[in-house]
Structure 1
């Protein structure tokens, strides 16, 4: 028989191990940590990227370091450097003024596909798990990466360790062999599995709107909007054989507009009907900036800019499933650092049923 004291010790140890394995952060998550931004989606996949705050000596940088760690025991780890501007040789990178080892630089591979939608971006990836971990182990002990002779091409490592620890906490890896920041003896199999991916019903395209339907629906939608200045503009698309969606743009500023999005009957007098839209997490600025509806795919999308060149803000899309508009994708970037929207942290991920 086990003695009470020994039994209590076993139970305490088991509870501590279970706590270490359990994710300790709510997702989706978006957080700024010193010179880094971390985002984790609804599946607990995480993405951290270097992002100068612009309020200290770091300022703007033409060089960005991305880190992706997929959730789950076998989730992949990947690093990527993006350089905006002329071609460079990243094997010359300096860490705190000293060259990197050949063991690290030989793991950099030029990526030919355009990851972020910007043809002027040159990308170098570290795609093998062991190589990526070697890079992180080396960088965690440094302060700054710099391309020699280019003061604008740098990566501050201030906040990197805290970002890695946050990613570990989100994915339940703290004190695990798969952790990026605080490794331990926990087996990879102890890491919680990746969250199930939400499955969206495929949009069933109804008969398209006739020219008369479009004109009448847009006229009805415009009557419901009273802009402060300028003339509003409207578009319309079919949701079902009986229901349509109207999108009215009004009160535009320099690069963002206000929008009125409604569902209406496809028959006169084109009255409004109920339209359920899944809300964005993290107080995302939905249905502002630029909003459009794709009638072929039943997709409502938005792109909100925090400044004119569109390197920060929010973007997302919903798919109509026959009953409501369900969120299919959502990204946000709180800092304006030159990163294209395709490389903003993904905060909501889904896939569509075949």
Structure 2
């Protein structure tokens, strides 16, 4: 484990602004994810029993900590029972936290108040579990929480400082490295002209029978081929090559819009090595392309329920697709869908121009 305070302060601040390697790890019953901005989120696992605690924090001085306890998810639906605030047990004893600065709902407790978070962590840090009084199976194991938060402190350069959650010290709370620089996404390309009927027919025939798909295991008659414009001269050709119960893997080609067709294979290369994968090349799984924004999405399900897997967003820069967002949920525990998976990579993206207002005159 590295401790940034052992290096010269200016050198570390400089290094922190250049690069942060995303990670996702599990410590006993807690999973932590930190993205390329050193924003970290840790949650208790598994969530199948309906009760989960989540704690997150941004890097730098403006850390915006947030802690929440939830009973019920999008997969469990609304669960019945008395309010959480009166029915939580800590190691079998009724827990009565000070909720003055908390948002209190029947089955959801949350706070972004730093002192309240510190007070709550001091109550639970060395305990075994949180439990719901009227549903004993709804339990949050606290084993691994301390290790996850220590890693969070370390990643954000808080260890041995007053802002640390675990290994506090005398270093001032303001004495922490800033978040790394945001990577810039490619600028949005002009919206390409739509493919004509003749262009579409010719490209679909080319993609079905003539493009080099030696790596495809699917019979040509079972392959799905789709085409979309990249610009006024080139098109994106997607050819399904492997098919499972809930995932389809495509090959992607940049193809000239007119004959004689010239195709160039496109690959998705991540700017980091993701956890559990070991390489930077990413397969196009359940790919979806938005030609109006030059945006390619992938969505690899870990299982049919869609509660775990990998979701990515890529921007076309005129030649290649560049990663703008990467989210991954490595724990398949029926807790949340892809919209809420923790992010490992994020970037500054262009917003589409605002629509013109209709004249009222």
* TM-score interval for Structure 1 and Structure 2 normalised by the shorter chain: 0.7 to 0.9
Aligned pair partner of 1:64 in 39, 52, 66 = 52
1:161 aligned residue: 146
Aligned pair partner of 1:330 in 326, 331, 335 = 326
Residue correspondence of structure 1 range 56-95 to structure 2 within 5 A: 60-84=48-72, 85=77, 86-88=79-81, 89-91=83-85, 92-95=87-90
Residue correspondence of structure 1 range 103-122 to structure 2 within 5 A: 103=98, 105-109=99-103
Question: C-alpha displacement at 1:17, in angstroms?
Answer: 7.6
Q: Does 1:40 align with 2:34?
A: yes
1:56 aligned residue: none
Stretches of structure 2 lacking an aligned partner (at least 5 in a row): 352-361
TM-score (norm 1): 0.83
**Distance (Å, rounded) in 2 between the aligned partners of 1:80 and 1:279:** 32
Stretches of structure 1 lacking an aligned partner (at least 5 in a row): 1-13, 53-58, 113-121
Question: C-alpha displacement at 1:106, in angstroms?
Answer: 4.4
Aligned pair partner of 1:151 in 118, 136, 139 = 136
CA contact (8 A) 2:306 2:338 kept: yes
1:31 aligned residue: 25
1:304 aligned residue: 300
SS at structure 1 position matched to 2:159? coil
2:161 aligned residue: 176
- Higher mean alpha-carbon deviation, 93-102 vs 66-75, is at 93-102
**Distance (Å, rounded) in 1 between the aligned partners of 2:39 and 2:319:** 29
Question: C-alpha displacement at 1:202, in angstroms?
Answer: 2.3
SS at structure 2 position matched to 1:251? strand
Compute the RMSD of aligned alpha carbons.
2.7
SS at structure 1 position matched to 2:193? coil
**Distance (Å, rounded) in 1 between the aligned partners of 2:53 and 2:267:** 39
CA contact (8 A) 2:306 2:337 kept: yes
1:8 aligned residue: none
Question: C-alpha displacement at 1:288, in angstroms?
Answer: 4.4
SS at structure 2 position matched to 1:351? coil
Question: C-alpha displacement at 1:192, in angstroms?
Answer: 0.4
**Distance (Å, rounded) in 2 between the aligned partners of 1:235 and 1:124:** 46
Question: C-alpha displacement at 1:71, in angstroms?
Answer: 0.7
**Distance (Å, rounded) in 2 between the aligned partners of 1:145 and 1:107:** 20
**Distance (Å, rounded) in 2 between the aligned partners of 1:203 and 1:270:** 23
Residue correspondence of structure 1 range 285-324 to structure 2 within 5 A: 286-324=282-320
**Distance (Å, rounded) in 1 between the aligned partners of 2:339 and 2:69:** 15
CA contact (8 A) 1:304 1:314 kept: yes
Aligned pair partner of 1:98 in 93, 98, 106 = 93
CA contact (8 A) 1:265 1:273 kept: no
Question: C-alpha displacement at 1:353, in angstroms?
Answer: 3.5
- Higher mean alpha-carbon deviation, 156-165 vs 266-275, is at 266-275
1:202 aligned residue: 188
Question: C-alpha displacement at 1:90, in angstroms?
Answer: 1.5
In the superposition, relative to structure 1, how do residues 301 and 351 fare at CA in structure 2: closer, same or farther (>3 Å)? same
1:276-335 C-alpha deviation (Å, 9 max, x unpaired): 644263137833441111112111111111111011111111011223211111011111
2:217 aligned residue: 227
Aligned pair partner of 2:350 in 332, 346, 353 = 353
SS at structure 1 position matched to 2:164? coil
- Higher mean alpha-carbon deviation, 309-318 vs 129-138, is at 129-138
Q: Does 1:217 align with 2:180?
A: no
SS at structure 2 position matched to 1:198? coil
SS at structure 1 position matched to 2:288? strand
Question: C-alpha displacement at 1:111, in angstroms?
Answer: 7.4
